[in-house]
Amino acid sequence: MARTPFKFVDLFAGIGGFHAALSGFGGKCVYGVEIDPAAAAVYERNWGKSILGDITEDVSDSQCLVPAHDVLAAGFPCQPFSKSGAQLGMEETRGTLYWNILQIIRHRQPALVILENVRNLAGPRHIHEWRVIVETLREQGYRVADVPAVFSPHLLPPDLGGRPQIRERVFIVAVREAPGVTDHRLDLPLVDNRAVRGWDPGTWDLISDLPIEPTEAGPECRLSSSEGYWIDAWDDFVVGMWEERDGRRLPGFPLWGDNWVTNSALKIPKGTPTWKADFLRKNAAFYTEHQKFINSWTKRWKFYTEAFPPSRRKLEWQAQDTPRLWDTVMHLRPSGIRARRATYLPALVAITQTSIIGPLRRRLSPREAARLQGLPDWFDFGAQAPAATYRQLGNGVSVGAVWHVVRQAVQAYEETLKKTCPGLVRSVLGAEESPDPALRRLGPS
């Protein structure tokens, strides 16, 4: 029997995006944790691994029951750390789930640590949290970049495991240094938020590249009669505006139907935020220029009646020269209808804003959403409600993005990792550049 090249633990695992990539490289999961029982059930169904519900049961001041491993992966919740005294050390993280991760790292010293979090962790509001994470990992003997690594799967071409989804996430990669090394800094992150190998994300074709299946249209995908009516109305607006504006595209600022007044009638209340005042002026100018067309359109579609709730009287056009609204992909958001070209999608989210595929007049199916995250078609969600599947996928990690980050890390630190975990180096550098073939092999025979 072949020896497992490396062992990994999967913390805050969701349904197993990290597991897909790491097992695709040949690794063996020796421990997992996921507090949501529905997600844990999907994880166990597909990966054949029972996982714990609460990490604090196994990791505390007095114990660490997590087995030895080579790679620690965690899509961890980022809780605020104490700023008392700006200690920037392990004690500052006490009471957070990140503290439990640090305890595991301190006790087990894995060769490679990969943490994933939302894009905002790299933003100005979380500078303190970022510094705490970097400093505490360095205290444990790990090399970590000062600059956050942000990456999205739509920046990878299809043959590298990319997917047509903007999903910017922060990846924190930490490599355990050899004994005696005291400088644990990196000048630059292992990956940056740029397209790989000259790939042009604008060339994604959602329908063919995902792919979107014309026949995949369960009840959860269908549009309500009201949704169809709203889109039909705005489609009529878009088509009419091409002629009205002599072929000029719609403006990029949000169109707010409830604020369409002439320039002379516009009144901006004192204290209105600058950004909102700017949009109000632009909407007034737009209405003033096209008042006759807009008045006819709003009357024809009963725009200012209960047929149109306020959130559907707003359109955000990001579809450039796409001729019709029904040719775009759409999100029905609390802030209005957002339309984009049918190239790549906004990030899946864990709430009911599933993308509408205009050319097929339906929503993205659960299977298509799973493909968007890089999960193989054999991945089984069981008999759970589609809403639960959408939510779990919206909380998940992109398999292709993880695959890319792991390959970059191993390539960059090959010499160090050959000393700490040579099996990881052999399996990662010997694998295909895309996770897709490996995941197909992992499926049921």
Beta-bridge partner residues of 7: 28
Q: Which of 29, 64, 78, 221 is catalytic?
A: 78
Q: CA-to-CA distance for 348 and 168, rounded, in angstroms? A: 11
Helix or strand holding residue 269 (H, E): none
Nearest to 432 by CA among 152, 71, 27, 159: 159
Q: Look up residue 307 and give its two tokens.
A: 């047929």
Q: CA-to-CA distance for 48 and 188, rounded, in angstroms? A: 38
How deeply is 292 buried, as exposed, middle or buried, from its count of CB atoms within 10 A (0-12, 13-18, 19+)? Answer: exposed
DSSP 193: S
Q: Catalytic residue at 29?
A: no
Q: H helices of 48-181, where?
A: 97-108, 127-139
Q: Which residues contact 316 (CB under 8 A, 6 or more apart)?
A: 254, 255, 335, 336, 337, 338, 339
Helix or strand holding residue 419 (H, E): helix 414-420
| Secondary structure, 3-state, 319-359 | CCCCCCHHHCEEEEECCEEEEECCCCECCCCCCCCCCEEHH
Q: Look up residue 411 and give its two tokens.
A: 């390539």
- In Å, how far are 78, 152, 252, 330, 345 from 318, measured between CA atoms? 31, 19, 6, 10, 12
Q: What amino acid positions are annotated as catalytic residues? A: 78
